Amino acid sequence: MTDVKTPVLIVGAGPVGLIGALDLAWRGIDVVIVEQRYAGEPPPVKCNHVSSRSMEILRRLGLAEAIRAAGLPHDYPNDVAFCTTVTGTEFSRIRIPSVNGRSEPPSVEHPDSTWPTPEPPHRINQLYLEPILFEHAAKEPRIRILNRCILEEIDQTDEAVTARVRNLETGATLVINASYAIGCDGARSTVRRSIGAKFVGEGEIARNLSSFIRAPALLEMIRSKRKPSWMSQAINPRRAGNAIAIDGNELWLIHCRVKPHETDFALIDRDRAIRDVLGVDNNFAYELLGKEDWIARRLVADRMRKDRIFLCGDSAHIWIPVAGYGMNCGIADVVGLTWMLAAVINGWAPPSILDAFERERHPITEQVSRFVAELGVQLVRRRNEPPAGIEAEGAEGDAVRARFGQEMYDMNVGQYCCGGLNFGYFYEDSPLIFYDGEQHPAYSMASFTPSTVPGCRLPHAWLRDGRSIYDALGPEYTLLRFDPSIDASGLIDAAVSHGFPMALLDVDIPPAGGVYGYPLLIVRPDRHVAWRGHAINIDPDRMIGRLRGEDRAGVAGAQAA
């Protein structure tokens, strides 16, 4: 038995756990990751999309360029096409730029091309994303990855977390002592069970028979009928489903929708289902590389924390992958936690700052779960009931497909171009934020209003020198000053005296009449607005106290003028 000591233990080396470790290391914190798989073992072919908000995080960590260089070929269309079969008649298309197309001017033809961000979303399967994250984590001296190790027990005292880990190759037992632990160990999370958290919600919305295949001839068959697309949604009376391009050549993930009367995956003719979705006959050759069958659910853990142990990603929530926001929500969870953990470990905030994590993230995960589940239920019903004549030839069939195509576009464009989920959500009950009485702008899955209402994401802008405003922010808190004549010395001096990291950034774009509105903004490490004002008229010590999580009296008396 060997002991290991670390400030933070992360269980699970999927994208959420790896990004959490990379962010902690970026903030100067040592991390140990426990992972059951071999180093370099291919991940599941699951997640297919890195959201814009996640790409912003990867940009800060210096990884956005490497991620964007991988995935589909740079000229491969990122569109979503709706067809009778994958090789059949197309009747609608949501246009999303390729990597090369992102350099073109924004266009209403591409609904996500006008988003206010330095990092648009990127189509890349987990098969290619995770190895990049793993490679960078493995090279980081502050991160130690224990592959082929399984968490057997985890417990905690008032002072520390203790985990018993077994090496799957040798059988040896390792005891890890950590100040804090994060469970990123998936839907069957051992960490979740250890803190007594339970999933609450809907256990089954739909079933999907999913297959990872190699089909060298499929792309040319598609090209003979239409322009290729990242995703091809097939809807016909025999079987609804979709095909996702993995490498832009011969690798595909095929989701076949399971019909209501089909209660057992094993009894479904997988080959027939794949051919019905693709629209190919029995002579079409493909190789089955893996089975990725899954049940669509809406489940959120009733708690995301117990003292020193936290939950992020699939260990805290699983839902139908509408909008591709499972992994991305997990990434938002973990970087919403890691900056707070680093604040405590680095000594500039007390442990009470951690009380904000669950108060901020749990309501967001619950809300996102309902957004995606409501749309998912509608889509399941509509895909299972295609209109009569969807495959008919001639003018009658064309009319049916045109009507249904518009319906599919309207129902789906919000999930594939989900600006609201990226930029619209806000924290409305945080002990770290100075609320000023103004309502947060409402948002939907697709729509949002950029705002500096405290709790919202800092709206993006390009500075006069060509930098993104996000690239100019400090690593922790930043005071943005749009009017350099305003005296901020009292607050900056108080921050220095408290050992509180706050950078001062004079911004050379005018706030008046624009989205910023106020000449002073305080932005948190996660780029959410913590305070705004026209002058610093709150006692600086009181302000620092609240920002570092030691003001436990609530917002009363702490309003900004």
What is the 8-class DSSP label of residue 473? S
Whole-angstrom Cα distance, residue 125 to residue 107?
26
Distance (Å) of CA 204 to CA 83, 298, 375: 27, 7, 14
Residue 334, SS3 per DSSP: helix
Q: What is the pLDDT of residues 243-280, one digit of tens each?
A: 999 999 999 999 999 998 898 999 999 999 999 999 99
Stated pTM of the model: 0.95
**Residue 140: alpha-carbon gap to chain centroid:** 23
Q: Is the pLDDT of residue 178 over 50?
A: yes
Q: Which DSSP state fits 339? A: H
Check residues 380 and 304 and name the one with the higher pLDDT.
Answer: 304
Question: What is the chain's mean pLDDT, rounded?
Answer: 94
Q: Where are the beta strands (DSSP E) in 365-519?
A: 477-481, 502-506
pLDDT over 50 at 554, yes or no = no
Is the separation of the CB atoms in 286 and 268 below 8 Å? Answer: no
Reduced to 3 states (helix: H, G, I; strand: E, B; else coil), residue 404 is helix
What confidence score (pLDDT) does residue 219 get? 98
> At residue 351, does pLDDT exceed 90?
yes
In the predicted model, is pLDDT for residue 484 greater than 80?
A: yes
Paired sense of beta strands 80-83 and 49-50, if any: unpaired
Q: How does residue 223 score in pLDDT terms, banded at 50, 70 and 90?
A: very high
- C-beta of residue 329 within 8 angstroms of C-beta of residue 317: yes
Q: Where are the alpha helices (DSSP H) in 89-160?
A: 126-139
Question: What whole-number distance in Å separates Cα of residue 328 and Cα of residue 119?
Answer: 14
pLDDT at 555: 39
> 320 falls in which pLDDT band (50, 70, 90)?
confident
Contact yes or no for 422/414 (Cβ under 8 A)? no
What is the rounded CA–CA span in Å between residue 82 and residue 409? 8
Q: How confident is the model at residue 109 (pLDDT cuts 50, 70, 90)?
A: confident
Of all residues in the chain, the percent with pLDDT exceeding 70 is 97
User: Residue 252: helix, strand or coil by DSSP?
Assistant: strand
Q: How far is CA 517 from CA 49, 278, 483, 513, 559, in A?
A: 34, 52, 12, 6, 17
Q: List CB contacts of 145: < 8 A, sequence separation 6 or more.
A: 13, 32, 33, 35, 39, 134, 137, 138
pLDDT for res 557: 36
| CB-CB contact of 329 with 365 (8 Å) | yes
Measured in degrees and rounded to the nearest 5, phi and psi for residue 326 equal -70, -65
Taking residues 181-205, report their average pLDDT: 96
Side chain identity, residue 471: D
Q: Residue 440 in 3-state DSSP?
A: coil
Q: How confident is the model at residue 52 (pLDDT cuts 50, 70, 90)?
A: very high
d(CA 278, CA 211): 12
The lowest-confidence range among 17-21, 103-107, 234-238 is 103-107
Q: Can you spell out the DSSP letters for 353-380?
A: GGHHHHHHHHHHHHHHHHHHHHHHHHHH
Closest CA to 50 of 149, 119, 131, 110: 119
pLDDT at 560 over 50: no
Instruction: State yes or no: pLDDT of 481 exceeds 80.
Output: yes
- Per-residue pLDDT, averaged over 479-492, amounts to 95
Q: What is the C-alpha to C-alpha distance for residues 28 and 354, in angstroms, rounded to an integer?
A: 18
What is the DSSP annotation of 93-156? Answer: EE----TGGGGSPP-TTSTTTT-SSSS--EE--HHHHHHHHHHHHHH-TTEEEEETEEEEEEEE
If pLDDT is split at 50, 70 and 90, which confidence band does 551 have? confident
Q: What is the pLDDT of residue 325?
A: 85
Tens digit of each residue's pLDDT (9 = 90 or more) over 365-398 = 999 999 999 999 999 889 888 999 999 999 999 9
**Is residue 510 pLDDT above 70, yes or no?**
no
What is the DSSP code string of 198-250?
-EEEEEEEEEEEEEEEE-TTHHHHHHTTS---SEEEE--SS--EEEEESSSSS
The pLDDT confidence band at residue 324, using thresholds 50, 70 and 90, is confident
CA angle 339, 479, 17 (to 5 degrees): 15
Q: Is the pLDDT of residue 153 over 90?
A: yes
Q: What does the pLDDT read at residue 104?
A: 87
Q: Grade residue 308 by pLDDT with cuts at 50, 70 and 90.
A: very high
Instruction: List all residues 6 or more positions away from 65 whose beta carbon is below 8 Å from its beta carbon.
Output: none
Taking the C-alpha atoms of residue 339 and residue 300, their distance in angstroms, rounded to an integer, is 23
Q: What is the pLDDT of residues 389-421, one digit of tens each?
A: 999 999 999 999 999 999 999 999 999 999 999
Average pLDDT for residues 353-360, to the nearest whole number? 98
Beta bridge pairs of residue 227: none
The closest of 429, 398, 399 to 554, measured between CA atoms, is 429
Q: Is residue 130 helix, strand or coil?
A: helix
Please give the structure tokens belonging to residue 354: 């951690």
Over residues 201-218, the pLDDT tens digits come to 999 999 999 999 999 999
